[in-house]
Structure 1
């Protein structure tokens, strides 16, 4: 095996769409899991409203509802690969707000999860959902090859 093949590992290229699908499934599931308790429990949603109030968010009741449902729908979008570029942008915005309003006060460790979600949002917004995405099936001719 030559050095260039050893360093570039071309045999892994065939798994690139699988890796995008796996990232979509993991990140989407994480987003849904993170807010499902707020959706299913009025008590948990009230705790989130109190959290946002303590961090001086404007309109905490509305912002809690908006953030929870945005994250849920973004997670669904990532899993299905449907509307993934828009969902990626929304994911970026949501977690930039999280860092600016909450996480940055706790330092880099507190910001890391939100920063990773910003990067995944950016990745999905710029590359799309890959070949195994509903976007690809629905708009075959409108989406450039990811």
Structure 2
């Protein structure tokens, strides 16, 4: 009866679940900033949004944030420096909540809250077996 309630057999898919999560979230983060990377007009719109939201030095912060999110996404997909990327993801989206999303309430902050928690899970758990980090760890 305990096995029926706790489903320990699902633990066998742990590494595949982490791989799927990393690829999905990482791809979403890359997709989310790709327009800012490839279009000066989109980047200018993002700079204006940061200025309107009260961020300091939006001309510097906008490209910095875009490239940080892009790097986090690539890192998640590859499973490379995943714990660092998780920390950066969590911090980045805490800032998004504090500076922007909080005015939209729980519903409006939910996406950023999920990204904070995904970052925390990847920072504390690591990427799973199917990752470049696992290959690097095996070599030491």
TM-score range, shorter chain: over 0.9
* Equivalent residue for 1:115, pick from 92, 109, 113: 113
Unaligned runs of at least 5 residues, structure 2? none
1:1-146 equivalences under 5 Å are 3-140=1-138
What's the TM-score, normalizing by structure 1?
A: 0.93
What's the TM-score, normalizing by structure 2?
A: 0.97
Shift >4 Å, 4+ stretches: none
Q: Secondary structure in 1 aligned to 2:138?
A: coil
Structure 1 residue 136, shift from structure 2 partner: 0.8
CA distance in 1, matches of 2:85, 2:53: 25
Q: Could you say what the CA RMSD is over the residues aligned between the two structures, in angstroms?
A: 0.9
**Alignment: residue pair count:** 140
Structure 1 residue 106, shift from structure 2 partner: 1.0
Higher helix share: 2
